[in-house]
Structure 1
Amino acid sequence: MLQPKADWYWYCDGQHLMLSLGQNLQFKTAYLPNRLINTPINKQWFNLEDTGHYSNLAEQLEACPLNLSSAELTQILINGVAALAFHKPVTLRSWYFTEQTHFGSNHQLASLENDIGKGEVLILEQDHNVATCMVISKSLSLHSDKQLNQFELIKVMKNRLIPFVSHSILLSQSA
């Protein structure tokens, strides 16, 4: 996993929010300018708040039993920080998902489920009843002809969140 450096900075290339990682390395986030607020016009340095978000998310993801490569983890972290720093607020869309009797998250990870399927999300922000989540599965179906792609955001009531349990934990508990 990459660690933030002093020469990292955000910018917009006209089509996507980008993060320069120094030494001619660029990271293209999943976010288009029309989904952003406070879009960086020129260089906007990766600041202390961004570094704090990056570290907090990394701590949560490293503590959970996800089998992520270093590159996958870095991709989730950078998109998560970009969403926290620049993404416009999203509207509540809980009705797409099944209400849960036992709900919550495990290391900021949860699943959302409906009649079509299930997908994993990372909780970026939450208050007592609502959570803003970033899809970390390849996609998350809302209904038969609408889905969210990886790294898109959704806001749901917390009673829709299924605490994340990895398959490796389930297998070891059944042995």
Structure 2
Amino acid sequence: MLQPKTDWYWFCDQHHLMLSLGQNLQFKTAYSCNRLSTVPSDKRWFNVDDSAHYSAIADRLLMGRLKLSGAELTQIVINAVAAVVFHKPVALRSWYFTEQTHYGSSQQLASLENDQGRGDVLLLEQDANVATCMVISNSLILNSDKQLGQFELIKVMKNRLIPFIAESVFLSKSA
């Protein structure tokens, strides 16, 4: 996984928020510039707060024991930091998902479920009742006509969140 460096900076190209990783490397985030609350006019350096978000999110993902490559982990973390720092607030859309009797998150990871299926999310912001989440599954089906792609944001009531449990392999020994 990439570690933040002092020469990283945010900028917008014609359409998307980008992160320059130095040495002529650029990362295109999933967020178009028109969905940002603040748009970097030129360069906005990846600062101490951005680095703190980056480390905290990476730690949560690693503790959640997701099966991710270093590149996948970096991609999720950069998009999550971009969402936390720049994205406009999103509307509440809890009605798409099944209310849970026992709900919550584990390491800020959760799943959302409805009649169409289930998808995994990373909690980015939350208060007592509501959480803003980023889709970390390939997609999250809302209904037969709508779905969210990976890294899109959704706000839901916390009673829709199913605590994330990483897949584990059970070994059995025969005597």
User: For the superposition of Structure 1 and Structure 2, which TM-score range results when normalised by the shorter chain?
Assistant: over 0.9
Gaps of 5+ in 2: none
| Counterparts of 1:4 and 1:12, CA distance in 2 | 19
1:65 to partner: Cα distance? 1.6
Shift of 1:167: 2.0
Which whole-Å deviations, capped at 9, do the CAs of 1:7-66 have from their partners, x for residues lacking one? Answer: 000000011100000000000000001111111010000011111110100111111121
Shift of 1:166: 1.7
Partner of 1:126: 126
Which letter maps to 2:84? L
In 1, the alpha carbon distance for the partners of 2:98 and 2:108 equals 19
Can you list the C-alpha shifts for 1:118-149, whole angstroms capped at 9, x where unaligned?
A: 00000000011000000000000000010000
AA in 1 matched with 2:38: N
Structure 2-normalised TM-score?
Answer: 0.96
The answer to whether 1:38 aligns with 2:38 is yes
Letter in 1 for 2:72: E
Q: Stretches of 4+ moved more than 4 A in 1?
A: none
**Aligned mates of 1:81, 1:113 — CA distance in 2:** 25
Query: Equivalents in 2 of 1:7, 1:35: separation in Å?
Result: 25
Q: CA deviation at 1:173?
A: 8.9
Percentage identity across paired residues of the two chains: 71
3-state SS in 1 of match to 2:83: helix
Counterpart of 1:20 in structure 2 is 20
For residues 134 and 103 of structure 1, the distance between their equivalents in structure 2, rounded to whole angstroms, comes to 17
- Secondary structure (helix, strand or coil) at the match of 1:125 reads strand
> Which residue is equivalent to 1:172?
170
**CA-atom RMSD in angstroms:** 1.3
Per-residue displacement from partner, 1:52-110 (whole Å, max 9, x unpaired)? 11010011111112110000000000000000011000010000000000000011100
Residues 134 and 173 from structure 1, CA distance in 2 versus in 1: closer, same or farther, beyond 3 angstroms? farther
Q: Return the alpha-carbon distance in structure 1 between the equivalents of residues 12 and 36 of structure 2.
A: 10
TM-score by length of 1: 0.96
Q: How does 1:1-175 map to 2 (within 5 A)?
A: 1-168=1-168, 171-172=169-170
CA distance in 2: counterparts of 1:131 and 1:92, whole angstroms = 9
- TM-superposed CA distance for 1:172, in Å, is 2.7
Change (3 A) 1:135 1:174: farther
1-structure distance, mates of 2:15, 2:129:
34
In 2, distance between residues paired with 1:54 and 1:167? 24
State the distance in 2 between where 1:174 and 1:110 align.
Answer: 28
